[in-house]
Amino acid sequence: MAEYTKAQLTELIIGKLNRSFGRSVDDATPLHMFKACALVLRDIMAQHQMETSNQVWEKQERQVHYLSLEFLMGRSLEKNAYNLGLLDTLTETLEDLGFSAADLFETEPDAGLGNGGLGRLAACYLDSLTTQEIPATGYSICYELGIFKQKIIDGKQVELADNWLGLGDAWLIPKMDEVEEVRFGGHIEDNWVNGQNKPKHVGYTAVLAIPRDMEIAGYKTNHTNTLRLWDAKSPAPVDMSLYSRGEYLKAVEQQAMAEVIAKVLYPDDNHYEGKSLRLKQQYFFVSATAQSIVRQHRAQYGTLRNFHQKHVIQINDTHPTLVIPELMRILLDVEGYTWDEAWHIVTHTVCYTNHTVLAEALERWPQNLIETLLPRIWEILKEIASRYQRELEGYFGGDMNRVSRMAIIWGGEVRMANLCICACQAVNGVSALHTEILKQDVFHDAYLRQPDKFKNVTNGVDHRRWLAQVNPKLDALIQDCTGNDKYLLHPEAIRDLEKFQKDKSVLKQLEAIKLENKRKFAGYVGRESGVMLNTDAIFDVQVKRLHEYKRQLLNVLHIISLYQKLHDEPNAEFTPQTFLFGAKAAPGYHVAKEIIQLINSLAAQISNDPICKDKLQVVFLENYRVSLAEKLMPASELSEQISTAGKEASGTGNMKFMMNGALTIGTLDGANVEMHQQLGDENIFLFGLTADQVNDLRNQGYHPLDYYQRNQTIKRVVDQLSSGFSDGSSYADLAKRLLFGAGGSPADEYFLLADFDSYSQAHRRALEVYANREQWNRMSLINIARSGIFAADRSIQDYAHTIWNVPTRND
């Protein structure tokens, strides 16, 4: 922890303003002040990081390298100040200098280097790795443009560029002495030296990978880790002869072609150029990373024979899989190891976290693309694949049906998940149900062959950020009840709160905190959008990526049924409900974008209908992101976790809602299963088919048209989609998808109509409990008290003990 007085911090900030920006406090803008504060904290963390590196070097500790194409970091100023123990001091210092700390924290753009749960998980894990004092480095790309900014225009999503680096680069430290070269294209020539082939890569295009390091502070520790973000530049100088002839674009073509690698997160890949760029991104960052780790290891130990004893490389989903053949390339071609020696090192170094059971999300690359872009990697992949296939054929007695499912190269494609299964020393799912599905279905044959390779590490979230920091009054109540702040470093200690479940005074305080958070959030939404939320209504919230399996459409169908019921019986008793949605749809995902438009059509019709006033409200929160989630989670009361059972790997939003006292309405899917184990039937609103029941119904033949014809409520709701809304928009295509299927997808692929009645009944149960304030508040307290197991600290300890074999701070 950093020990600085207000006077010392003031002196450091004023010094930064003077030296870095030529400004005094009086002429400094909020942007100058933000950057000055960021640079001061960066300097403190950089000093701690140097001390940490020296200790790791001296003790020769095993290091964790966490590779992920996404790190959804959000904002860093407040978080870093909090972890360093400087938040109160910094806040007072800024106020004394004439700046609002709250406004200054709001000026920071989100570092949106991620798409959703995968990237936010990686960010939470960096915090816990550091807090647990595990020597670790995260690796990704320094995207110039993060996940797009979402604007809703005429109800439709429009994507705008998100240039976060204008202010965000204050956190980044360029390391020009640690630049690596990454090679694309060209061809391979045999090069025999002393009877050994050292293949020569010729005719390639080189791209320089420049590290821009972001320091990561842990909570109440001086241990500091690093997130290394690779920027892409061309080594070729601008062609001045072309420039002087006026061919300006041609002169800078090579620079532009190199820099496009780090330009944008997830280029659209439904065309060849997009696929090529995405593959370049993946290889660029893993090649630079592998070369960097090897270079540092060789400098310390002089040999790579102990590499696997000193390093573990954890790949977060399949995007970094090419680190496997790249590490083989370095060991074979640069270090001169035999195949068996290199393979032993790689297979005892790399571990794989699977994040999906969706077949379309298990990456497959056209082999001709790899062959063209990465010729040496292709040669190594062919060798790995042929050796593995021979092993499989021997094991399965020539059963080519099973061999084909597990093959790495098959049908002109390279299957990245199968490469991970082959080469990684451990494969883990991210919830108990998800891991079982991997073992019994997705990777069943691989599991039968090597059962010990498969592990489970249920996801977790940074509870210091997602509870203590974003909900300070709840944090104060927890500490007041438990008598200490132990839960911040030992999240299981939050269980002590449960002793107060019958304490009416505590329950009343909990309710008051929730109401204050709702009003605060309503004020924010009003200022940002002009929409006034009804804080007397229950805040029912579904925020996550827009994907059909996450079933935002089921939520919409239920709201339409409520709307129709209100029109049928406008004077009937009706619990006021405010439904909040937040979601971004992938730019090329047409159905998801149509569902966003549907939500906005429904919201507009309800908003303009006097019958719904103070009873029913639907609001789509534009540009959902980490900083918006930090305001929303403390205000939420009912958490929608309603994916089709068997489809969601884990979910992490469900855990954040739980920690903040929202109750869950959900299916037995992902980590909801473990939440249910912690809470029991009585503290969660479960509904719908289980994963096994979904499979059984699919196998028997699921006919959604039967539900439509037999159930009048469902028929009216689906017909409303077709007939459309007051804005003139019709959603007949969505209705058709539900009843008859479309574009090769089966009818109602995600079983919305099958679960509709059960979902509606769960909502009715939830509203009955909501009317009993004491019961609701008790359930809310129990949810908070039993949420400790879903802290990222627990997840990281599981990884450390069961996969990485490294000690933690709490050991």
Give the tens place of pLDDT for each residue, 129-157: 999 999 999 999 999 998 899 999 999 99
Residue type, 168: G
Name the DSSP class of 791.
Answer: B
Cβ–Cβ < 8 Å for 704, 754:
yes
In degrees rounded to 5, what are phi and psi of residue 109?
Answer: -75, 150
Q: Name residues of the chain where pLDDT drops below 70.
A: 1-2, 238-239, 242-243, 247-252, 267-270
Residue type, 752: L
Name the DSSP class of 134.
Answer: -
Cβ–Cβ < 8 Å for 111, 75:
yes
Q: Is 414 exposed, middle or buried (0-12, 13-18, 19+ CB in 10 A)?
A: buried
Exposed e or buried b for every residue in 20-37, given b needs 16+ CB within 10 A?
ebebebeebeeebbbbbb
The alpha carbon of 447 is separated from its chain's Cα centroid by a whole number of angstroms, namely: 27
Cα gap 747→390, rounded to integer Å: 40
Cβ–Cβ < 8 Å for 14, 99:
no
Cα gap 80→463, rounded to integer Å: 15
Cα gap 488→507, rounded to integer Å: 22
pLDDT for res 195: 77
pLDDT for res 327: 98
Cα gap 811→808, rounded to integer Å: 5
pLDDT for res 680: 97
Q: 463: closest CA among 660, 645, 643, 238?
A: 660
Cα gap 544→72, rounded to integer Å: 13
pLDDT for res 166: 87
In degrees rounded to 5, what are phi and psi of residue 491?
Answer: -60, -25
- Where does 84-195 have alpha helices with state H? 87-96, 101-107, 117-131, 165-168
Q: 491: closest CA among 144, 127, 771?
A: 127
Cβ–Cβ < 8 Å for 642, 616:
no
Cα gap 733→742, rounded to integer Å: 8
The sign one gets for the Cα dihedral 637, 642, 646, 650 is negative
The DSSP element (H or E) to which 415 belongs, if any, is strand 413-415
Cα gap 521→633, rounded to integer Å: 10
pLDDT for res 146: 86
Greatest CA separation for the chain? 92
Name 316's bridge partners: 353
pLDDT for res 270: 63
Residues 6+ positions from 609 with CB-CB distance below 8 Å: 563
Name the DSSP class of 500.
Answer: G
Cβ–Cβ < 8 Å for 124, 83:
no
Give catalytic residue positions: 355, 544-545, 550, 652, 656
Residue type, 671: A
What would the two tokens of residue 749 be?
Answer: 């692929």
Cβ–Cβ < 8 Å for 518, 535:
yes
